[in-house]
Amino acid sequence: MGVMRFPWRRKDKPETVRLERPDVAAERFWQGWHELLPEISAALGDNEPGRVEHQLCELIAIVHPRLHFALERGQRSIYGLVISAQEDPAVRPYTDAWKAAAPPDDAIWEFHDSVPPVPDPSEVTVNLGAHRISLADIRVVAQVDDEAGVVDVAVYHPAMSELDDASRDAMTFLPLDAALGERLAGERLRRVETAQAEPAETISLVELRDMVRALAES
């Protein structure tokens, strides 16, 4: 069973941030990545990714300070580095430049400029404080607007009522990103709500993915 972890982000917020051109920032990142890679590999080999958290936060902030990132098990490679602008259009040029300058995926590393969908969200468990939440138990109400090509959704899990506001928000959006990928979710989901009680006529995350992909292809 897979486990999803919340991405890291640089915690300090400098008062003044001088942004470089996206291509220049991307080039600086990849130079730093190759220099740091032996330490990253050693930390992951020891199952201690936190050892390089600070260095990676500083490196990612070179691209853009509002980026989030995560080190994950890869889908085709052993490891995956995922960066996310959380669909902020002002940051998208920086993630585009980062991906364009990235080395080709290989057996060890794959690189994603947005959160990719997981192969089977029903096999994923989210660690959220004291809670272990299986995405197999997520239920969704979906209303399709065929004319606009978008879907309105309400997300339910039995543990929602036990979570604080921030965790409840996270558990509303994270399952959608897991099922659809961040980019497709951003493009096709219009209104997203949290359901406090289980609604009628719900579908699973896999069924939601099939629905949204069919809508995108129509």
pLDDT above 90 for 25:
yes
Q: Which residues contact 104 (CB under 8 A, 6 or more apart)?
A: none
Q: How high is the pLDDT of residue 6?
A: 41
10 and 72 inside one domain: yes
86 and 183 inside one domain: no
Q: Which domain holds residue 211?
A: 121-217
- Looking at 83, 112, 141, the residue that finishes a domain is 112
Q: How high is the pLDDT of residue 17?
A: 59
Q: Distance of alpha carbon 176 from its chain centroid, rounded? A: 10
Mean pLDDT of 118-137: 89
168 and 97 inside one domain: no
179 and 79 inside one domain: no
pTM greater than 0.75: no
* Mean per-residue pLDDT over the chain, rounded: 89
Q: How high is the pLDDT of residue 96?
A: 95
Q: How high is the pLDDT of residue 5?
A: 43
Q: Distance of alpha carbon 162 from its chain centroid, rounded? A: 23
8 and 101 inside one domain: yes
**What's the structural domain count of the chain?**
2
Please give the Cα distance from 177 to 192 (Å, whole number): 12
143 and 81 inside one domain: no
pLDDT above 60 for 15:
no
- Work out the percent of the chain whose per-residue pLDDT is above 70: 92
- Tell which residue, 126, 129, 8, 124, has the closest CA to residue 71: 8
pLDDT digits (tens, 9 = 90+) for 160-204: 999 999 889 989 998 999 999 998 999 999 999 999 898 999 999
- Looking at 75, 95, 112, the residue that finishes a domain is 112
208 and 131 inside one domain: yes
pLDDT above 50 for 4:
no
- Which has the higher per-residue pLDDT, 202 or 128? 202
- Looking at 112, 131, 150, the residue that finishes a domain is 112
